[in-house]
Chains A and B, each alone.
Chain A
Amino acid sequence: MRAWHFSENAYPYLPPAETYPSIRVSLPNQIYDPAKGSDLYHRYIDEWLIAEDEGVDIMLNEHHQTATCVDPAAPLVLAILAKLSKKARLLILGNPIANRRQPVRVAEEMAMIDVISRGRLEAGFVRGVPYEILPANSNPVRMNERHWEALDLIVKAWTTHTGPFSWEGRFFHQRAVNIWPRPWQQPHPPIWISTTSPSGAAAVGERGYVQATFLTGFEGTRQVFDGYRRGWQKAGRKGPVPIDRLAYAALVYAAPSEKEARAGAEKLLWYVTSNKVPMHIANPPGYVGIAANLAMIRGAEHPLSGFKKNASVDAAIESGLMFAGTPDQVVKQFQKVYDYVGGFGHLLIMGQAGFLEHDDTVLGIKTFAREVYPRLKQLYPDSTPSRTPAAAPGTAKFVGASAGP
Chain B
Amino acid sequence: MKTTTVKLAGIDVELFEAGSGNALLWLHGANGFDPAHPFVKPFSERRRLIVPSHPGFGKSGLPDWLDRPDDIAVLYLELLDKLDVARAEIVGCSLGGWIAAEMASLAPERVTKLVMVGPAGVKVGPGDKLDIPDIWALPQEEVNKLVFHDPKRMIPDTSKLSDEQISIMLRNRETTALLTWEPWMHNPKLKHRLHRVKAPALFVRGVSDGLMSATYVEGYAKLVPGARVTTIAAAGHAPQLEAPAAFAAAVLPFLDG
- Could you list which residues of chain A lie within 8 angstroms of chain B, going by C-beta atoms? 25-26, 134, 137, 139-142, 145, 170, 278-281, 284-286, 290-291, 293-294, 297
Contacts and interface: CB of A to CB of B under 8 A. Distances in A.
Interface string B82-109: 0000000000000000000000000000
A284 B139 contact: no
A46 B138 CA distance: 39
Most chain A beta carbons < 10 A, residue from B139, B140, B174: B174
Contacts of B182: 137, 139
A286 B64 contact: no
B177 A284 contact: yes
Given A139-B178, A139-B182, A285-B177, A293 B170 contact: yes
Contacts of B136: 134, 280, 284-285
A279 B64 contact: no
A286 B166 contact: no
A294 B171 CA distance: 10
28 contacts: A26-B137, A139-B177, A139-B178, A139-B181, A140-B177, A140-B181, A141-B178, A141-B181, A142-B67, A142-B178, A145-B64, A278-B139, A280-B136, A280-B138, A281-B137, A284-B136, A284-B177, A285-B176, A286-B173, A286-B174, A286-B177, A286-B178, A290-B170, A290-B171, A291-B167, A294-B167, A294-B170, A297-B166
- Size band of the B side of the interface? 20 to 34
Interface in B130-144: 136-140
A135 to B, nearest CB: 11
A87 to B, nearest CB: 44
Contacts of B67: 142
B4 interface: no
B11 to A, nearest CB: 16
B256 interface: no
Chain B binding surface SS class: helix
A287 to B, nearest CB: 9
Given A137-B182, A290-B174, 18 more contacts: A26-B137, A137-B181, A139-B177, A140-B181, A141-B174, A141-B177, A142-B67, A145-B64, A170-B65, A279-B140, A280-B139, A284-B177, A285-B174, A286-B173, A286-B174, A286-B177, A290-B167, A297-B158
A273 B16 CA distance: 50
A215 B169 CA distance: 31
B163 interface: yes
A140 B178 CA distance: 8
Contacts of B181: 137, 139-141
A146 B90 CA distance: 35
Contacts of B176: 285
Interface of B: 64-65, 67, 136-140, 158, 163, 166-167, 170-171, 173-178, 181-182
A275 B138 CA distance: 18
A161 B140 CA distance: 51
Nearest to A170: B64
Q: Is the interface of A mostly helix, strand, loop or mixed?
A: loop
Q: Which of A26, A281, A285, A290 has the most CB of B within 10 A?
A: A285
Contacts of B166: 294, 297
Nearest to A290: B170
A291 B158 CA distance: 15
Contacts of B170: 290, 293-294
Top 3 nearest A-B pairs (CB, nearest first) are A285-B177, A141-B178, A286-B174
A315 B173 CA distance: 36
B137 A280 contact: yes
Contacts of B158: 297
Contacts of A26: 137
A137 B184 CA distance: 10
Given A280-B137, A286-B174, A294 B64 contact: no
Contact of A280 (B64, B140, B171): B140
Contacts of A140: 177, 181
Contacts of B174: 141, 285-286, 290
A144 to B, nearest CB: 12
Contacts of B64: 142, 145, 170
A313 B58 CA distance: 46
B158 to A, nearest CB: 5
A291 B167 CA distance: 7
A334 to B, nearest CB: 39
Nearest to B135: A280
Nearest to A299: B159
Nearest to A145: B64
A2 to B, nearest CB: 38
A281 B178 CA distance: 17
Contacts of A291: 167
Contacts of A137: 181-182
B138 A285 contact: no
Contact of B163 (A25, A142, A281, A294): A294
A324 B180 CA distance: 47
Contact of A279 (B139, B163, B175, B177): B139
B29 to A, nearest CB: 15
Contacts of A285: 136, 173-174, 176-177
A142 B182 CA distance: 14
A130 B138 CA distance: 15
Contacts of B171: 290
Instruction: Pick the most buried of B138, B170, B176: most chain A CB atoms within 10 A of its CB.
Output: B170
Contact of B137 (A134, A141, A279, A286): A134
Contacts of A290: 167, 170-171, 174
Nearest to A291: B167
Nearest to A26: B137
A321 B151 CA distance: 41
A140 B137 CA distance: 13
Contacts of A286: 173-174, 177-178
A203 to B, nearest CB: 16
B143 to A, nearest CB: 8
